[in-house]
């Protein structure tokens, strides 16, 4: 079996981690009797600076036939972030109906949390982030530039379909994990969209009598991710809240360099996309020290999504074994002094 993967390394450290992780993925595929065939697309801000667009006009059409997409990072100091996000990452998520964003936050054995008293295994939750609407809806506008009455409007969009879809996915995950669900809103202040969200959680919960539901406001949740992270299991949140909370999830579990994510089209009509949670990290570009493990964990989720669950597990275990080994190479974000390639070489020996 050959799986066709579109690789979009993107900006900054994106190419460093995606290109470094690729041989690890190819190795694991070979050992498990399938092939991953990567086609590289040099889309991103360099292209935007040279040609005026992050990707070609027919970019989505080009990607449509792939089995999956592996993305690195977007962002460049010379290009406003709303340009990079709205012209590559978000069109792919929205165009391919990748409505479910799954982001695990796990404190692995051998990794130190900045939170005192937490050891490997103590933190293990997953955030289900709504991924195609909410506060990321491209609706709004600006008027009267340069006048005192200049105005900007940005609307958030919550559809019943979109909200039910993410809430149901989170309930399914809680059922599978035999765990509980925390739903995050700001429904004390946002009396339309977030009260609607609460109402849908309430309705869907009736289909899942075995799942206990906790409701938290996003401000309280931000504190509780720090104060009692071990108590979370499956967390469901809107697009913006999910984005913010998963950065907290990444940092309390040791490093942004370890946090993976999967942008899933649950209908499998389109390719799903896998990407590290971290951005382009301009401060370390070219130093050869970017942590490739978030990309490796994302690749593990990709391979499992393709139906190769044993290979996905093998990748995940190689990375967690490495983290648990105090003699293994570590990049500076984890307190080590090794480079990206050292980590990859060691990882390949563990497959
Ligand atoms: N790894 C993808 C990346 O560069 N993400 C940066 C970012 O700002 N993402 C925002 C989001 O996930 O909504």
- Sign for the CA dihedral angle at 85, 87, 89, 92 comes to positive
CA–CA dist 288, 276 (Å, integer): 17
Indicate which residue's Cα is closest to atom 6 of ligand 1: 279
- Per-residue pLDDT, 313: 98
- Per-residue pLDDT, 167: 98
Q: For the stretch 236-248, what's the b/e string if a residue is b when 16 or more beta carbons lie within 10 angstroms of its beta carbon? A: bbbbbbbbebbbb
Mean pLDDT of 226-245: 98
Task: Say which CATH superfamily domain 124-252 falls into.
Answer: Isopropylmalate Dehydrogenase (3.40.718.10)
List the chain domain ranges: 1-99+259-351, 124-252
134 lines ligand 1 (CB under 6 A): no
Give the ligand 1 atom nearest the CA of 81: 8
- Sign for the CA dihedral angle at 160, 138, 143, 74 comes to positive
Alpha-helical regions (H) of 217-264: 218-227, 239-252
- Per-residue pLDDT, 191: 95
Strands 140-143 and 151-154: antiparallel
- Per-residue pLDDT, 90: 97
- Per-residue pLDDT, 219: 98
Over residues 256-302, the pLDDT tens digits come to 999 999 999 999 999 999 999 999 999 999 999 999 999 999 999 99
CA–CA dist 59, 86 (Å, integer): 14
Mean pLDDT of 188-211: 97
Indicate which residue's Cα is closest to atom 1 of ligand 1: 73
- Per-residue pLDDT, 125: 98
Specify the 3-state DSSP secondary structure of 268.
coil
1-99+259-351: CATH number? 3.40.718.10
**What is the 243 CA–ligand 1 centroid distance (Å)?**
8
Which listed residue (41, 66, 136, 270) is catalytic? 136
233 lines ligand 1 (CB under 6 A): no
DSSP secondary structure string, 118-154? --TTS-EEEEEEE-SSBTT---EEEESTTSTT-EEEE
Same fold, 1-99+259-351 and 124-252: yes
- Per-residue pLDDT, 136: 97
Mean pLDDT of 125-138: 97
Mean pLDDT of 313-334: 98
Indicate which residue's Cα is closest to atom 5 of ligand 1: 279
> Which residue among 72, 89, 131 has the greatest number of ligand 1 atoms within 8 angstroms of its CB, and so is best to mutate?
89
112, 330 Cβ separation under 8 angstroms: no
Which listed residue (27, 67, 124, 243) is catalytic? 243
pLDDT band at residue 251, thresholds of 50, 70 and 90?
very high
- Per-residue pLDDT, 79: 93
CA–CA dist 2, 8 (Å, integer): 19
CA–CA dist 211, 239 (Å, integer): 23
H or E stretch including 274? strand 272-276
275 lines ligand 1 (CB under 6 A): yes
- Per-residue pLDDT, 42: 97
Q: What is the mean pLDDT of the chain?
A: 97
- Per-residue pLDDT, 253: 97
- In the chain, % of residues over pLDDT 90: 99
**What is the 264 CA–ligand 1 centroid distance (Å)?**
15
Establish whether 219 is a catalytic residue. Answer: yes
DSSP 261: E
pLDDT band at residue 311, thresholds of 50, 70 and 90?
very high
Strands 35-40 and 124-130: unpaired
Q: How many helices (H) and strands (E) does the chain have?
A: 12, 12
Order of strands, sheet of 100-106, starting from the edge strand that comes earlier in the sequence: 35-40, 2-10, 68-73, 272-276, 260-264, 100-106, 124-130, 234-237, 181-185, 213-217
Q: What is the ipTM of this complex?
A: 0.93
- Per-residue pLDDT, 106: 98
290 lines ligand 1 (CB under 6 A): no
Mean pLDDT of 196-206: 98
- Per-residue pLDDT, 323: 98
**What is the 211 CA–ligand 1 centroid distance (Å)?**
31
Indicate which residue's Cα is closest to atom 7 of ligand 1: 279
Task: Give this prediction's pTM.
Answer: 0.96
- Per-residue pLDDT, 22: 97
- Per-residue pLDDT, 52: 95
120 lines ligand 1 (CB under 6 A): no
């Amino acid at each position: 079996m050959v799986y066709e993967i579109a690789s979009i390394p993107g900006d900054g450290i994106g190419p460093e981690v995606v290109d470094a992780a690729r041989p690890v993925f190819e190795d694991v595929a070979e050992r498990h009797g399938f092939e991953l065939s990567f086609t590289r697309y040099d889309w991103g801000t360099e292209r935007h600076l040279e040609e005026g667009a992050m990707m070609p006009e027919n970019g989505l059409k080009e990607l449509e036939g792939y089995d999956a997409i592996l993305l690195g990072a977007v962002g460049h100091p010379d290009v406003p972030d709303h340009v990079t996000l709205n012209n590559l990452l978000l069109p792919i998520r929205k165009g391919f109906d990748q409505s479910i964003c799954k982001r695990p936050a796990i404190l692995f054995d051998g990794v130190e949390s900045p939170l005192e008293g937490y050891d490997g295994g103590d933190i293990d939750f997953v955030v289900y982030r709504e991924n195609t609407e909410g506060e990321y809806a491209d609706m709004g506008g600006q008027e009267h530039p340069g006048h005192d009455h200049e105005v900007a409007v940005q609307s958030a969009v919550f559809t019943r379909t979109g909200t039910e879809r993410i809430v149901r996915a989170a309930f399914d995950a809680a059922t599978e994990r035999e765990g509980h669900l925390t739903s995050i809103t700001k429904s004390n202040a946002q009396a339309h969209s977030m009260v609607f969200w609460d109402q849908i959680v309430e309705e869907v919960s009736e289909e899942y009598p075995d799942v206990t539901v906790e409701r938290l406001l996003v401000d309280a949740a931000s504190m509780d991710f720090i104060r009692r992270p071990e108590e979370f299991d499956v967390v469901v949140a809107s697009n913006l809240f999910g984005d913010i909370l998963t950065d907290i999830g990444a940092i309390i579990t040791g490093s942004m360099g370890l946090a993976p994510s999967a942008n899933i089209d649950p209908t499998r009509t389109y390719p799903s996309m896998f990407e590290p949670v971290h951005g382009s990290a301009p401060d370390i570009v070219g130093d050869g020290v970017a942590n490739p493990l978030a990309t490796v964990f994302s690749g593990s989720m990709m391979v499992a999504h393709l139906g190769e669950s044993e290979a996905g597990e093998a990748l995940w275990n190689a990375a967690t074994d490495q983290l648990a080994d105090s003699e293994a190479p570590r990049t500076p974000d984890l307190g080590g002094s090794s480079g990206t390639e050292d980590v990859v070489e060691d990882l390949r020996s563990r497959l």
